[in-house]
Amino acid sequence: MALNYNSEAACEFLSSAFQWIVNKFKKLWSVLTSIKLLIWTITILFVITGLSLLIVGIVVLVMCNNYFILIDNTFFLLPVFMIGTAVIIFLTACLGFHGVTRNKYDYVVSFITLLVTILMFEITVTVLGFALQDNAWQGNVVLYKMHEYMQEFINGGWGRSFWNTMQRELRCCGIKGVSDFGNRIPLSCCYDITTFSPFECTSSNSTYYGCYYSLAGLVSEYAFAIAITAATASCLQVVITAIAVYLAYRVKRQQEIPYKGLLESPINQGSKANYNSIPGLIVGGPDSNDII
């Protein structure tokens, strides 16, 4: 008897514990799917995507600004486009938050449309970033301008100071190597200069790598950073859009419940005054309770 009593008590305890867990899960789910929490979640995630695009875009522009005359202008259009997308995100977040908090279905749908548009922008940045990474190594971004300014350097033109600075910072020499200068190797090709004078920079004590490889690698790294950041933002944008779609469903359902509850309420059955209080509904004849 004691064994049966314990078994029943254990089953009852497990059943109570399971019911308690289910009730707590329902309460937690109701909190997580509340309209206010969904709105704040969308806004916070949206701002995070905008900040990531803005920061990476500004960093790339600042870091590559020192070599702007040797980099094709198409490269700088990409971080500028990232910054522009970030600005649109911030404006959309402000306007969308104001509209969505009013619990209007049309506002939420308009917000979703903007989210999808921004997602297309982020996907475009991702594709162009990976394409630019490949073009950098193929010489389509820096090589053709380097030949032009190399002649300015050799002829003692205005590009001499810029070229010397680049060779010191990137620890490179010439376009494809030290052989580009022949026997007149500039001191900027030797970054391990001794204090003894006179110092002569030769092929034996100068850096071996050409500036084309260094600059192309730099551009490729930043293009890859742009692509990865935009790809991450795109994935996050998909999550934001999915939450916004669910939010639209909740808002629409919330707007339909009062009308549905009023129509299905047994207290209001046959009440002509209550039917007339609903916009757009017309009561039939004076002796009829049917809604036309």
157: its two tokens: 């033109």
- Amino acid 28: pLDDT: 56
Cis peptide before 79 (omega within 30 of 0): no
The DSSP symbol for 195 reads S
User: What single DSSP character describes residue 81?
Assistant: H
**CA angle at 166 for the pair 221 and 125, rounded to the nearest 5°:** 25
Q: What is the pLDDT of residue 287?
A: 47
Interatomic CA distance for residues 62 and 150, integer angstroms: 24
As a whole number of angstroms, the distance between CA 171 and CA 215 comes to 10
Task: Determine the pLDDT at residue 227.
Answer: 94
CB proximity list for 107: less than 8 A, separation 6 or greater: 99, 100
Q: Number of helices (H) and strands (E) in the chain: give both, helices first.
A: 8, 0
The number of C-alpha atoms within 13 Å of 122 and in the hemisphere containing its C-beta is: 27
Each residue's pLDDT, cut to its tens digit, for the chain (292 residues) gives 444 446 666 676 667 766 667 665 555 555 555 667 777 788 888 889 999 999 999 999 998 888 888 888 888 899 999 999 999 999 888 877 666 666 677 777 888 888 999 999 999 999 999 998 888 877 677 777 777 777 766 666 666 777 888 888 888 888 888 888 877 888 888 876 555 556 677 777 777 788 888 888 888 999 999 999 999 999 999 998 998 888 888 778 776 665 444 444 444 444 444 444 444 444 444 444 443 3
